Amino acid sequence: MAPHEDYSSELSCAYRRGHPIANPQPGMNSDRKPLAPVDVGDVGYISRVHGNFIRIFNVHLRPGEKGQPAEGDLPEGFEPLPRGAVSFIEDITPVFKSKSVRMSGVSADVSGPFLGGSVAFTSANERGAILAAPDPIECYDAQNIFSYKKHAMTHIESWHEFAVQRCGLDIALEDVVFVTGVDRTTSWATAIFADTRLDTQFGLQVQYATVGAQLAAKFSWHHTQNALVNSGPSRPRPALTDSDSVITPGDESREPLNRICDQSLFIRHIRAKRRIWVGLKLKANGKPENMDDYDNLGEGRGEHAATEVELVPDHHRQFSDNLEPALDFILENSTCAIAIAHDADLVSLSAGGFTTDLGVTVQHGIGMFG
């Protein structure tokens, strides 16, 4: 797996907070201006290179509003979905880590909240991930998840078609992510290690701003030779003018790295998975030799019954995340061609176990819990 996939897999197993974003930065547009942070209603995908979330559009925004594409650059017939109730809470959890990772040697700085000093990490395993978030975390979640799932059931195939045909994106249906919740903060530091042991002195030091808000001003990872580390956001470096005084390294650490909660740590989301039909002998044109078998597989798909079997391209591996158990359960316990699941479905699976009593609703060949 890519390092960002290891990161997301490790932290999603340790915490039920949705999909961990390996690179929380919102990114920039072609003019080097920051893009809008991840928000409820975003439709996008996870970059295969960096693990950051890339928005295609937002179901709640009007054309041209807050970074929304113009009307001609949205799916055909797009109408903004009214935004319902969204809850908000603040979290002050300073460290998220793999179950195998332990903290030791904590050295607190009385002038700073939360971490406020240095901390060492050890692990019994050769694989793990760490997220340090010393500043407050803002958590947003849509309340009516069922309505979002119904909306996805109606539109997710056309969203994928739009992304491929109109936007020119090389993504599969499984790559499409529909955001219903997000945790954002001002700054962060991450570490990923795989197939190796952490150095015995591996650790992180956090320095806080000495003026204004008590926010992180600098992250320093130590003894990182066995880990891939990162931190952000990058501190802006404006060009100096003749009237500017020279900035020393000590001056820089006085200011917070960031004062805006626009760095996205975790997302709650809806994702789909298409059934891979097996047991069919395909001819060179990609169609089954026995079309009766093909027709039988389409039973129960309603208006989608005539749709040809879509083969997964072999030039890249299919995206998967923490929703995979729920998606597979739906496919295995129904006749649907496409399964849709949300992070909340994992709670139902954990509580009731993998039993057929959980009930799968199928409409037009798309199945989901509820």
pLDDT at 313: 46
Quickly tell me which residue has 């929380």 as its tokens.
24
Q: Is residue 171 part of a domain?
A: no
Same-domain check for residues 227 and 240 = yes
- What integer pLDDT is reported at residue 303 of this predicted model? 41
Mark whether 95 and 209 lie in a shared domain: yes
Predicted pLDDT of residue 108 = 58
Structure tokens at 191: 């570490």
Domain identity same for 108 and 242: yes
Determine the pLDDT at residue 298. 43
224 and 338 both lie in a single domain: no
Number of domains in the chain: 2
Let me know whether 135 and 208 are in one domain: yes
Which of 239, 268, 297 lies at the terminal end of a domain, its last residue? 268
Element (H, E) at 161: helix 145-161
Q: And the tokens for 366?
A: 């798309």
CA dihedral angle for residue 188, residue 194, residue 198, residue 202, rounded to 10 degrees: -10
Per-residue tokens: 118: 């240095």
Per-position pLDDT tens, the chain of length 370: 899 999 999 999 999 999 999 999 998 888 888 899 999 999 999 999 999 999 999 999 999 999 999 999 999 999 999 999 999 999 999 999 999 999 987 765 544 445 568 899 999 899 999 999 999 999 999 999 999 999 999 999 999 999 999 999 999 999 999 999 999 999 999 999 999 989 888 999 999 888 777 899 999 999 999 899 999 998 765 554 444 444 444 555 478 999 999 999 999 999 999 998 754 433 333 344 444 443 444 444 444 433 444 444 445 567 889 999 999 999 999 999 999 999 999 987 876 555 555 689 999 999 999 8
- Percentage of the residues of the chain whose pLDDT score is greater than 90: 66
User: What whole-number distance in Å separates Cα of residue 162 and Cα of residue 169?
Assistant: 9
Distances (CA, A) of 251 to 40, 187, 368: 37, 19, 55
Token pair for residue 279?
Answer: 């047991």
Cα separation, 311 vs 285, in Å, equals 12
> Which residues pair with residue 34 across a beta bridge?
28
Q: Which two tokens stand for residue 219?
A: 């992250």
If asked whether residues 258 and 229 sit together in one domain, one would say: yes
**294 and 356 in a common domain:** yes
User: Judging by beta carbons within 10 Å of its beta carbon (0-12, 13-18, 19+), is residue 50 exposed, middle or buried?
Assistant: middle
pTM above 0.75, yes or no: yes
Phi, psi of 219 (to 5 degrees): -110, 140
Rounded to the nearest 5°, which phi and psi values hold at 348?
Answer: -65, -40
Domain end, chosen from 268, 301, 327, is at 268
285 and 260 share one domain? no
> How far, in Å, CA of 216 to CA of 67, rounded?
28
Question: Tens digits of per-residue pLDDT, 72-85?
Answer: 999 999 999 999 99
Same domain, 231 and 107: yes
Cross-strand partners of 227: none
List the domain range (segments joined by +) for residue 63. Answer: 3-143+182-268
